[in-house]
Structure 1
């Protein structure tokens, strides 16, 4: 039956829910075996996955392995190693007036989780949430992006060969398929994508009162103050911005540079771009392509809203846009308001960090925020000002591959987090078993109440409740 058929997703969910409700919660060993089965799939099908990523994104082999496959393998290893500790229940006892209470707490899976993944990292962002969900004992349905068809179809094929559908399944299709899926009564929805689509998914989820984890984008600011300039810093910024042709949700969106180092920063960016991708980046084996036409057209429009300092060449037929730096942005331009999500870097000079932050031109709740500085006062000021769940100093991107660091947004950049223990906790809830052993029958807690009873409550409140 076609994936877009309304009855297929519904019957799949019913099958997963029935299995979840009639089976015991998966043991630690069962969950580990499930994750290791996924690891084996990734290792055995590595070449096929890298080929599909090349077809969908023009993804260079190094990027495809490092940021799609390796991070998943590392996540599985980390979760398998720590899962037993995370699952372990806790017990506490407390003496009360007339009874002893025993409180047992354990993490329970939600049940059936829907994962809607985007096109920019079509393998990683489909399976990373699934690792968290499966580690927590859930069943999963993954809806990958239709804009990465080769990876989506390969994922569907391999998942169906590796896992029973009542445990993990892939449903392919377009926007209509996503609408059908989000209208169904899943127990948790995990969405990664744009802010606007996230709002639509959240509205659908609200009709079912379904909890959500939203991983959205935003205009991640990157600032280099007067103490932060170095060749290494510029290499870091350029690498993070133009990785995956700029189509990374945590890429530096806009670069703000102190006016005293503005000119040499621009010069060093050009030098670095040439050393990374050559003078003809369209011939570089290390530079990707734009995923689809709509994003290509949006980026080209952004490019015309300032003066091109470096790059600017593009080829619509091959969805190629050269790494581009723009300066002298026109006030009120869309490139200053909207997430760029492509290989165009606006570079804007500023005179004073505190003034820059106070002007509200920087999105305080961006998915992440970057500062290059050796000034402790500036670092403290930046950390205090930004609301982002991750504030990174003197590096970009790397924190997102660290399972010790929760990955997630706040405000316009989403809510909820995952990776490592954070993912296990987000895909499960705390279940409490409360038991009381009465050693004394206390009649004064029952009506009718007297003034004496009130006096006793006030005097012994800590032991009564």
Structure 2
């Protein structure tokens, strides 16, 4: 990177802050105008976006629209509908001994925000936080993932053409560019990606005390008990697992099945996979590809760690890995310890929910936890066990597309949340203006202090403080 490029990256936050100071915090109407411009871009460039997603991930057009573009369009509609109310100032008045205290509260933008997107949903996971940032009144520098290059270059073209640099600007490049950006003086950093990289981002930001929102991953457990088993249930689980070739941060990572329905479940999974993708899934137009060679090899290595019940085929030249089901996995195997993030589904039998939860086999702070059951006691038990920010009962994936539900991690799966109002709150801070009207001065609060004034303070503390 040249010195000029480095200086440009380092000065981006200041340029955006100066413009915000010059114009003031944008009104709700101005923010909605920006959001609607972004919506129009998504609608008008739909074909180019879906083509780029196919180039990077082999993603079918249906999945591109349903899991990326439609989610963004719905989010923009929801935010625009509610933004005036969220952004409205509130006030309160309190009568104290000797004075009236008036509070006025208003949300304010952080300023210049850095958003680092992920490669697995390179449109949705890059632009979804941008929607929250705009709603909060911020300017954004956007760094798409270099591992989805076609999408990154298209986002750079369409965003930089439509918006001035002082509002939104896309910067492309590799990890060196990302490192330069995270060391720049942004007012907030939003990162989506792996836990390992998230730690590096947080460490770099901490040097400048820049607040960070981290959206990471985890091994989302999925429990299927004997009361929850049905063909429709298995169909939902299989869809959620193998959507985007398994490269979904909220996909069911490992399936734990009650032993009484274990074999039936395995048979049903194979039937559903054949229904979805045929006997030769590599030729299916509805099945994606692994994004990078390195990730391809990591997922392939998982296949040898158990008995292949279904699938198992792969083609490195095509970055294709067949939808694969594993059984008979040795405890402690990497496939049971690491996030899979690919089309490999370990299916583990269990006999008792209490024993399963106490075994340590489930990551409590995964992004989400799934349970398919009609037993209310077991559902509540699972809910109490998990530390994740969401628990999904008898469904997978859909909750993450809802603007009504805050999306975010806990512990190893990250911190901070966005979507809908949570995004507006995440990308703004509350400023309180306090004004006091005195009608009587209480001199006893000043030194020198006296025993008499101490007694008065204890007696009237609620009126004085």
SS in 2 for 1:26: coil
Q: For residues 126-155 of structure 1, what are the alpha-carbon distances to aligned partners after superposition, in whole Å with 9 as ceiling and x for unaligned?
A: 100000001100000011100000000000
Q: Quote the RMSD (CA, aligned, Å).
A: 1.1
1:75 corresponding residue in structure 2? 75
SS at match of 2:132: helix
- Gaps of at least 5 residues in structure 1 are none
Please give the alpha-carbon distance, in whole angstroms, between the structure 2 residues aligned to 1:44 and 1:155. 13
TM-score between both structures, scaled by the size of structure 1: 0.99
- Superposition map of 1:26-175 within 5 A: 26-175=26-175
- Alpha-carbon deviation of 1:63? 0.2
| SS at structure 2 position matched to 1:460 | helix
Q: Hey, what's the Cα distance between the residues in 2 that align with 1:443 and 1:377?
A: 60
Please report how far the alpha carbon of residue 361 of structure 1 lies from its aligned counterpart in structure 2 after TM superposition: 1.1
Cα shift at 1:3: 11
Return 5+ residue gaps in structure 2 as ranges.
none
Residue 5 of structure 1 is matched in structure 2 by 5
- Residues 229-276 of structure 1 show CA distances to partners (whole Å, capped at 9, x for unaligned) of 001110000000000000000000000000000000000000000000
Superposition map of 1:18-417 within 5 A: 18-417=18-417
Q: What SS is found at the alignment partner of 1:251? A: coil
Change (3 A) 1:3 1:150: farther
TM-score in terms of structure 2 length: 0.99
User: How far does residue 4 in structure 1 lie from its aligned partner after superposition?
Assistant: 9.7
CA distance in 2, matches of 1:192, 1:372: 28
Give the match's secondary structure for 2:330.
Answer: coil
Which segment is superposed worse, 318-327 or 441-450?
441-450
The alpha carbon displacement at 1:2 in A equals 7.7
Of 32-41 and 328-337, more deviation after overlay is shown by: 328-337
Q: Give the distance between the partners of 1:275 and 1:379, measured in 2 at CA.
A: 30
Aligned to 1:317, the other structure's residue is in SS state helix
* SS of aligned partner of 1:279: coil
Extract structure 1 runs of 4+ deviating beyond 3 A: 1-4
The 8 Å contact of residues 219 and 254 in structure 1, kept in 2 or not, is answered as yes
1:460 aligns with 2:460: yes
CA distance in 2, matches of 1:345, 1:256: 10
Superposed CA deviations along residues 384-405 of structure 1, whole A, max 9, x for unmatched, are 1100100000000000001001
Instruction: Give per-residue Cα distances to partners, 1:347-367, cap 9 Å, x unaligned.
Output: 000010011001111000000
Contact 1:3 1:9 in 2 (8 A): no
The answer for the alignment partner of 1:445 in structure 2 is 445
Give 3-state SS (helix, strand or coil) of 2:423's partner.
helix
Q: Secondary structure at the match of 1:441?
A: coil
Distance in structure 1 (CA, Å) of the matches to 2:54 and 2:277: 17
The answer (yes or no) to whether the contact 1:3–1:172 under 8 Å persists in 2 is no
Superposed displacement of residue 14, structure 1: 2.2
**Alignment check: 8 A CA contact 1:3 1:177 kept:** no
Q: Does structure 1 retain, via aligned residues, the 8 Å contact 2:10–2:185?
A: no
Could you tell me how far apart the structure 2 residues matched to 1:6 and 1:139 are? 20
Q: Secondary structure at the match of 1:5?
A: helix
Deviation at 1:197, TM superposition (A): 0.5
Shift of 1:111: 0.4
Residue 16 of structure 1 corresponds to which residue in structure 2?
A: 16
Whether the aligned pair in 2 keeps the contact of 1:105 and 1:432 (CA below 8 Å) is yes
Distance 1:252 1:4 in 2: 45
In structure 2, the partner of 1:428 is 428
Going from structure 1 to structure 2, the CA distance change for 1:4 and 1:354 (only over 3 Å counts) comes to farther
